[in-house]
Amino acid sequence: MLRTHRLTAIFAAVLSGLALSACAPSDPQSKTSAALADGVLVPAYSAWVEADRQLAVSAKAFCAGSQDLPTARQAFLTAQSAWAGLQPLLIGPLTEGNRAWQIQFWPDKKNLVARQVETLVKSKPQLTPADLDKSSVVVQGLTAYEYVLFDPALDLNDASQKSRYCPLLVAIGDHQQTLSTNVLSQWQSQDGIGAQLKSFPNARYAEGTEAIADVLRTQVTGIDSLKKKLGTPMGRQSKSLPQPYQAEAWRSNSSLNNIDATLASAERIWQGATQDGIRALLSPEQADLGKRIDAAYADTRQRLAALQQPLSVLLADEAGRNQLNALYDSLDKLHRLHSGELAKTLGIQLGFNANDGD
């Protein structure tokens, strides 16, 4: 009987040890995945939620007359920048259920945002959040909010125009706050993506290597999106004819600020919050690749910081277009280093991304 008790105790200890080892990542990929989840991804999603909360507060304050238009515009720009910062981090709930389209509708090649906003406010002069929830994604997000606050044809200093569009601003603010809060809640749930990036195996990832592949794939897609967001208004896909109205945020002149926010998040995935990002997975023998990627980020950041005028102004003259072309080439190099050499070095097959076929 004593021997049986001893065997039971030993068996229990072994099981306990296995459980602890499953919860505590030991291999480099698992450690990096967990570090990025806690140090980069969750903080970025939390900042996005807070920016959307402030946007909802701002919409109500502006429409109540207790906040001026410049302050309301700044609340929008903060929310838009927080969303731009998520572009290299779109893992989990935001890739499901058409959620990303509810936040931003771009590219808007046919000016659908303006047309559908005008149709909606005309048909629903007392628009409610419930009405907006039933409407098209085109009018539910930040692009429609930007149209109302920044379009040159609208004057929200005029009381009648303000009263016409304010129900929509309040509804969008509430919609964005609810959406972002729900996404973060799913991230932080017991079996949510946050937990799945930290403990293996799980329903999404068999091991840490799969999680790192997903993170890198998402980061690379985010960098590739920057090329599209810069190249489209530059005319890279239209025989070099600039198309300033195809810029991501042309009404608010914040296209380059959005690129900066996205680039910063991509670099945080690379570096990590405390030097524990994907870069940490490179061995000493692979140090040269790490230095070249560091240099590529520095070059892109410097070229972006040197642009002292809005994208629309830079597109209007040859000198500005030359600067933009140099920035595009720098982004392209950064993208190729990640999608080619880094992925190969880490043994990751990236496959297709969300921009393929655009």
Provide the CA 30 distance to its chain's centre, in angstroms: 23
Q: Which pLDDT does position 164 carry in this prediction?
A: 97
Q: How confident is the model at residue 25 (pLDDT cuts 50, 70, 90)?
A: low
Residue 9 has pLDDT above 90, yes or no: no
Q: Encoding tokens for residue 86?
A: 């998520």
Count of beta carbons in the 10 Å neighbourhood of residue 72 = 21
In the chain, ranges of CATH 1.20.120 domains:
208-345
Q: Which pLDDT does position 22 carry in this prediction?
A: 43
Residue 18 has pLDDT above 50, yes or no: no
Number of helices (H), then strands (E), belonging to the chain: the values are: 16, 0
Q: What is the pLDDT of residues 71-93, one digit of tens each?
A: 999 999 999 999 999 999 999 99
> Looking at domain 208-345, which CATH architecture does it have?
Up-down Bundle (1.20)
AA identity, residue 235: G
From CA 184, how far away is CA 87, in angstroms rounded? 15
From CA 94, how far away is CA 10, in angstroms rounded? 45
DSSP state of 225: H
Question: Where does 26-196 sit in CATH, by number?
Answer: 1.20.1420.20
Does residue 212 contact residue 346 with C-beta atoms inside 8 Å?
yes
Q: Encoding tokens for residue 66?
A: 């207790």
From CA 328, how far away is CA 65, in angstroms rounded? 42
In the chain, ranges of CATH 1.20.1420.20 domains:
26-196
Q: How confident is the model at residue 240 (pLDDT cuts 50, 70, 90)?
A: confident
From CA 269, how far away is CA 14, in angstroms rounded? 36
From CA 49, how far away is CA 27, in angstroms rounded? 32
